[in-house]
Structure 1
Amino acid sequence: MSITHNHYYLNSTITQQVCIRKPAWYPKQHLVEFPSLVLQLQLIVVYCLTQALHHTLFKHFGLPPLASQLTAGVILSPELYNGKMKVLKRAHESIFPEMSSDVWKGVAMLGFSLSIFIISVKTDFNLIKRTGKKPIVIGLLVLILTTFWNTTVALIYGKLTNLDKDQKQMRELTASASVLALSTFPVIAVLLSDLKLLNSELGRLALSCGIIGEVVGVSNTLVTKSIHHTITLLKQHKKRQVILQVGNRVVGLIAFLLCVIYIVRPWMTKIIKHTPKGRPVKDTYFIFVILLMLVGGIITDINGEFVIVGCFVMGAAVPAGPPLGSAIVNKFDTFILGILQPFLITMSAMRANVLQINFQDKLIRGELLVTLSAFAAKTIICLGCGWHYDMATSDALALAAIVSSKGIVDIGIYNMFIDSQMIGDSTYAYLILVTTVGAIIIPITITYLYHPLRKYAGYENRDIVTINSEAHLRIIACISRPDHVFAFAHLLALSNPSKNSMIVDVLHLIKLAGRAQPIFIAHDLQEGNASENMSYSEDVISAFSSILKRANMESLFTHFYTTVSQPKAMHGDICTLALDNLASLIVLPYHRKLSTLDGSIESEDPALRALNNNILERAPCSVGIFINRGTIKLPTFETSNLTSISVESQSTEKNEFSAAVIFIGGTDDQEAVSYAKRMSLGSKVWVLVIRIVAFGDDSELDLHDFKTLSEIREYKTNNPQFNYSEQVVRDGSQTAKMLRSITEEFDLIIVGRRHKMDCPQTSGLQQWSEVNELGILGDILASPDFPGNKTSILVIQHQKQWTFKGYK
């Protein structure tokens, strides 16, 4: 069976006949529905193969999905199926017939256009105004100097090898040199997100450099394409046509940009203002924005530019973040990132004959030379800038690897170049091969060179035990939901809050939505646009300030911050803030919301739980997880209620709050006692330290445990608010029974997170532990079926010490 396709170029018609083999499994006698069926099969095969490669192989080496998608394309290359196994060859021809190329190219191009639009929506171009001098200098130098150097190397190589006599090959070499010099923001953002480095210092620097390079790079691409088109017409002696076409193109593009700036952008801003806070944008507006994106692509195509230019400009016109930008991203992101992008990348790699690249060809050798020169130029520039700005050599090399990475944007450019005949099949195959090799090598190189935890390494104590009792205790209080405001006000009310004893940094955690780059705001400094920054956490700041005032804690030193980031990378901002502000304790909210009526679980937040685990693993200071079961109006403590505990001495006065510390031994329990001692310095809190002793245990105490117990006994003689008691247990079941008997008597119970594995006091309890980040005792106390629905719990982990080989 044959199908005739007519391709029209200018005024000539080319007729091409291609024979299609109708597969035996296809039941119909015609091919009307065959393209749709083949496209569906291709999508299924690509998705299954890329997911299988990623989850069975590449993911275990820390490689991003891009590597598996490109490798899948190489595996699906037709050259691999031209051997003796005719079954595989026929299967490949049935799923990927030659005539389906027009279909998948159209779908892939649509996916690329939507990807560029979504990427542009996510990008906050105001970052250019807020960024410092350092990323601007590095971003411009990397792009401008690398482009100039690469083009120069290409021209010199063409002159020395007589390649410049072939205008087509020389055009391919210079086009490759320009695209290899690019450092695009979307590619950098995706790579850093996959490596979980978005919130690191190097990640923020690379993002700022990338957005500078993105704006300049897009402008450079437009100019390069226009110059190439103009030179082509001049060589054809069509000077009059040059004037008309270039003039119409410039006027059309300027009119399009003015329309976007003065009509489309204000209209979108008006939509946001008329959308009630917390409510989604109307579907009518949403559909109209998508139509505008398609119209923008048509307009730029009519004016002789790439379709994606109009999509990029329309995406830049959409205000980033909620409600409009985040709504667009939420509706499109999953389909584009999960289906269309992998399909574009895999089919592009399959289209390239990477297995038939001839490295003896002068053009390919030139391509290899400009590839190495581009990487060398970026490395030298990053090393020079790193030396100037006092960066570590390893960090500068990691930055060079990041700005040398290639991804979805570059692959889209390769496809546009080959479709517009700016490059040939061999150059296209080589560029795909370079991208594939880079997708494997660059992530491994970055992981080896850059360690985000390195700045936390050392032996400086950032805990409560070593702080002078008269010094300020600096706490980072993390809030992710409105109810956490009351929870942390509850904890502060129990913690002897005063301007002489405590400084609190309140950090509002917001999940990144509708943006590609994270944001960190110090509200006291009013960085950037003050009104825009305040809008992120206005409700939280006002609510927290109001509660502090109602609780007579307005004299407390309080600073407010906001981080807008992906949950999996948010720990970077929290740890950096704790490190910079010399904090001794990070307090995190519990990932479960517990009912104050019966203690049942109302909701769970898996992302918050993952964040808590990341902080426990990486924090440069002590960490506490607070389980709130109370309110700001706490019950009055009655000493007569303590019937199950033998207390040596206790206050006869009624205290507003009561707290208990469970002490078994270890650094975490020592930290918990130190925090409780600070609480007892105030006149509102009565503290009882309960030491759980194993029956018949005659082993000597650890030196630090012995010192802590000695200080407790001495401290309680001078402070009637502070008391001590011992309870003897045989095993973990008696410990749980003891905890059950006291939970109704206290407003707050403080426990250490970690204890020895062979500890008799907790034996038999490990197998019932469900929430490991709370430790054994914390998990028991926070259990929904455990009594004490009004008792809050604070689980404390002492500071971990980080060390790295070669780092002191």
Structure 2
Amino acid sequence: MKILKLNLHDEGLEMMIILIAKTFFMVTCNHVNEVGVSNSELGRLACTVSLVLDIVAFLFNFAWENITKPVIAGDYWHPLMTIGTYILMFTVCRPLVIYIISYTPEGGHVKETHFLAILLTVLSIHFFSLQVHQFLAVFLFGISLPEEPLSSILHEKLDAITSSLLFPLFSAVYGIRADFNSLNPNSFKIELILIMGAFGKFFGTLVSSMVFGVHLRTALALSIIMASRGFISLITIGQYRLQGVMSREQSTIMQMHILFFTGALLPLVRHIYKPSTRYSTVIRQGVITSSETGTLQVLSCIFKEENLPGILRLLQAFHPSTEKNPIPVIALQLIPLNAAGVSVPILAPLHEIQSSPAYRSNLSRCNRTVNALVSVVRKTNGAIHPQHYISVSPYTAMHNDICNVSHDNHVNLLVLPFHAQWTDYNSSKGFQDPSQPIRDVNKMVLDMAPCSVGILVDRGDQNLANLNDGYRVVIFFIGGVDDQEALAFTTIFANNPRIRLSVVRLKSITKTQSNNGDCEDNVAINSFKLRCVDNERVSFEEVIVNDGGETTNVLVKMKDEIDLAVVGRYHDPGCNQLLGLSDRWCDYPELGTLGDMLVSSEFGFSILVVQE
């Protein structure tokens, strides 16, 4: 500053330097959310680092500004009033809000009187905190409360008005207050200091990250996120401007610096760091490749409680030959994170997360899933013993958790529930409660999964999670890698004495596939027959069909003889068996041509669509 001939005792300049050095947890959470890496290794690292820095900075600043400094000046009332405000907030207001929330049933809507009481409590805390100059007291109060159902309540009631109206107005007002006429040749020196501070923080994060073994691309992305500013900085600048700490020139320069520096660098994170790179470059695992290791690892995803009956029936169908050789199954419970802007996503085994606030706030929902999985262990005498993982993340990034668990646990088949719920075959209502966010997650997983994927369309009895005797499974085999993968998977059903397994190969007289493709199909069929030889519950049938119409007739004739149909997702567009059934007219392209036809209201059985 001496070299640049700037005033060393300028309070506004000191505040600018301190503000550039600070890292705000809320801003970091918002940034990793915007670039879509909130539940990746980078996102969790950035949020954890910023939270630690925020806590340390807050404690030191609180001790100096509100205790040490006033006491030195002989002011004893300010420390007492500040500490009293926090005691009142955590000992009276927090229990009061939790007590009010307890009257809201799970999945129900909060009463208007209860919501107004919570809002009045928050406003009262904000009023008292402003009197003692504690601008972040409301934020600390918010993170001390259980996330559910409060986050859902506030998101539903206030998100539209705060995100779409108040925050844009706030930003516009502070933008109008920027005075470009106040800039002078001396402003370049101030901006140079800000740039040096930002790059110092950037290179400091980069070097320290690489020293501790962080990959270069991850370290670069982390450095950009940590050096970026956000809305908390804008609020602080506005407060300093109103208090006269910063001049018009300084506040204008600071706003321009945040706008251009963050706006130019933060989008680069999308191009530097891609979470899918971690599992997209590995050798992909599949059901067929599991024969080399002798172990089939299955991951079942659970988006909501309605998915449980179908998943449980599928798990019970995995019947190993001995209890000493159980089939490894992972159950991943996916909980949407509504307040994604200021919350850290979580992915961990159940036993590691049971003591966390995220688990306690979803306690009843998690416990019902746990009890259902325990019942599977009991009904199979321990032959099926699922590992239970919990994922709390926004829908936009949920596919990262699914793919990461699949990659880390060497999963061969990943089972995803269909995004809509079947009502009743007899009522002809078809599907209800379709969830577009869940559908988007399924599509992303289909594109990025490091293993084979199966989409389960459950049409079984929602009140019955047990596998009935004489459960009928049919696989329709046309040809191709997806059908070969589906056939290899259905072999596991042959060990279950409750299941009758049928393989229906739909063949065409006219050959449209390559000889290599026919050869691989024949190898898969012969391998299946060899494994199921002398098994009376397994049957094999070949049916000649010449077009999609004849294929449809075969399926319609068998519809009352099927409980679960297994099909491959992709088939050669030129195959005669699907001639006339175009992908362009599919309502659900993620199910493929054959799966999309089977999901229509004409059929009432469950479907598992497999992608290799």
Same fold at TM > 0.5? yes
Per-residue deviation, 1:178: 0.7
Match 1:734 to one of 542, 547, 550: 550
Counterpart secondary structure, 1:487: helix
Match 2:313 to one of 487, 490, 496: 490
* Alignment match, 2:418: 590
* Alignment match, 2:131: 302
* Alignment match, 1:35: none
* Alignment match, 1:351: 177
Counterpart secondary structure, 2:600: coil
Match 2:538 to one of 717, 722, 734: 722
* Alignment match, 1:145: none
- 1:581 and 2:424 equivalent? no
* Alignment match, 2:7: 164
Paired amino acid for 1:769: C
Contact 2:287 2:412 in 1 (8 A): yes
* Alignment match, 2:431: 601
* Alignment match, 1:209: 49
CA distance in 2 between partners of 1:593 and 1:780 (Å): 17
Counterpart secondary structure, 1:291: helix
- Cα RMSD of the aligned pairs, angstroms, is 2.8
280 and 514 in structure 1: CA distance in 2 versus 1, 3 angstrom threshold: farther
- 1:687 and 2:501 equivalent? yes
389 and 243 in structure 1: CA distance in 2 versus 1, 3 angstrom threshold: closer
Within 5 A, what are the aligned runs for 1:92-103?
none
Paired amino acid for 1:513: N
CA distance in 2 between partners of 1:224 and 1:243 (Å): 12
Pick the structure with greater CA Rg: 1
Q: How many equivalent pairs are there?
A: 598
CA distance in 1 between partners of 2:387 and 2:467 (Å): 25
Per-residue deviation, 1:544: 3.0
691 and 701 in structure 1: CA distance in 2 versus 1, 3 angstrom threshold: farther
* Alignment match, 2:453: 623
Within 5 A, what are the aligned runs for 1:616-765?
616-631=446-461, 632-633=465-466, 656-697=470-511, 699-702=514-517, 703-765=519-581
218 and 412 in structure 1: CA distance in 2 versus 1, 3 angstrom threshold: farther
- 1:569 and 2:397 equivalent? yes
712 and 556 in structure 1: CA distance in 2 versus 1, 3 angstrom threshold: closer
Give the TM-score of the pair, scaled to structure 2.
Answer: 0.90
Extract unaligned runs of 5+ from structure 2: none
Match 1:446 to one of 269, 285, 302: 269
Per-residue deviation, 1:624: 0.6
Within 5 A, what are the aligned runs for 1:315-330?
315-317=142-144, 319-330=145-156
* Alignment match, 1:267: 96
Per-residue deviation, 1:455: 0.8
Paired amino acid for 1:689: V
Match 2:28 to one of 188, 193, 215: 188
Per-residue deviation, 1:401: 0.6
Contact 2:329 2:387 in 1 (8 A): yes
Contact 1:489 1:544 in 2 (8 A): yes
Paired amino acid for 1:764: G
CA distance in 1 between partners of 2:490 and 2:329 (Å): 17
Per-residue deviation, 1:796: 0.6
Match 2:159 to one of 326, 333, 336: 333
CA distance in 2 between partners of 1:764 and 1:721 (Å): 34
Counterpart secondary structure, 2:237: helix
Counterpart secondary structure, 2:460: coil
Contact 1:712 1:724 in 2 (8 A): no
* Alignment match, 2:368: 539
Per-residue deviation, 1:294: 2.4
Counterpart secondary structure, 1:452: coil
CA distance in 1 between partners of 2:164 and 2:69 (Å): 36
Contact 2:4 2:189 in 1 (8 A): no
Match 1:401 to one of 214, 224, 228: 224
Paired amino acid for 2:336: K
Per-residue deviation, 1:528: 4.0
Paired amino acid for 1:349: G
* Alignment match, 1:173: 13
340 and 226 in structure 1: CA distance in 2 versus 1, 3 angstrom threshold: same
Paired amino acid for 1:760: N
Give the TM-score of the pair, scaled to structure 1.
Answer: 0.69
* Alignment match, 2:383: 555
Per-residue deviation, 1:395: 0.5
CA distance in 2 between partners of 1:509 and 1:665 (Å): 34
* Alignment match, 1:360: 185
Contact 2:373 2:386 in 1 (8 A): no
CA distance in 1 between partners of 2:516 and 2:529 (Å): 15
CA distance in 2 between partners of 1:484 and 1:554 (Å): 22
692 and 792 in structure 1: CA distance in 2 versus 1, 3 angstrom threshold: same
635 and 684 in structure 1: CA distance in 2 versus 1, 3 angstrom threshold: closer
Counterpart secondary structure, 2:98: helix
Per-residue deviation, 1:412: 0.7
**Deviations, residues 403-430 of structure 1 (Å, cap 9, x unaligned):** 1121111111111111111111121111
Per-residue deviation, 1:773: 0.8
Counterpart secondary structure, 1:524: helix
Indicate the larger mover: 612-621 or 711-720: 711-720
* Alignment match, 1:793: 607
252 and 633 in structure 1: CA distance in 2 versus 1, 3 angstrom threshold: closer
* Alignment match, 2:288: 465
CA distance in 1 between partners of 2:534 and 2:460 (Å): 30
Counterpart secondary structure, 1:556: coil
- 1:774 and 2:599 equivalent? no
Contact 1:677 1:722 in 2 (8 A): no
Match 2:332 to one of 490, 504, 507: 507
